Amino acid sequence: MKQEYDFSKGTRGKFYNPDATFHIPVYLEQDSADYLNRIAEKQNLDISNIVNNWIKRDIAFLNSYN
């Protein structure tokens, strides 16, 4: 690594995108991942769909108490 870097010719915000979306990685324990993979295969869905559907149902359930 250099002692100093010259940013005098750099452009501020060159790669900034205000509309960028970031996907949050979720790390599952192996037994949970195996279970979800089996369900996803049986229903012919992606594991992301299974997890998102469960979370949405949990949110609706929790909101029903408010």
Query: HSE (CB half, 13 Å, CA atoms) of 36?
Result: 16
Q: Residue 66: what pLDDT?
A: 74
Number of domains in the chain: 1
Mind spelling out the 3-state secondary structure of the chain? Answer: CCCCCCCCCCCCCCCCCCCCCCCCCCCCCHHHHHHHHHHHHHHCCCHHHHHHHHHHHHHHHHHCCC
Percent of the chain with pLDDT over 70: 100
Q: Is residue 36 part of a domain?
A: yes
Q: Is residue 11 part of a domain?
A: no
Q: Which domain holds residue 49?
A: 30-63
**Which amino acid, one-letter code, is at 12?**
R
pTM above 0.75, yes or no: no
Per-residue pLDDT tens digits for 26-45: 999 999 999 999 999 999 99
Copy the structure tokens of residue 61.
Answer: 């359930």
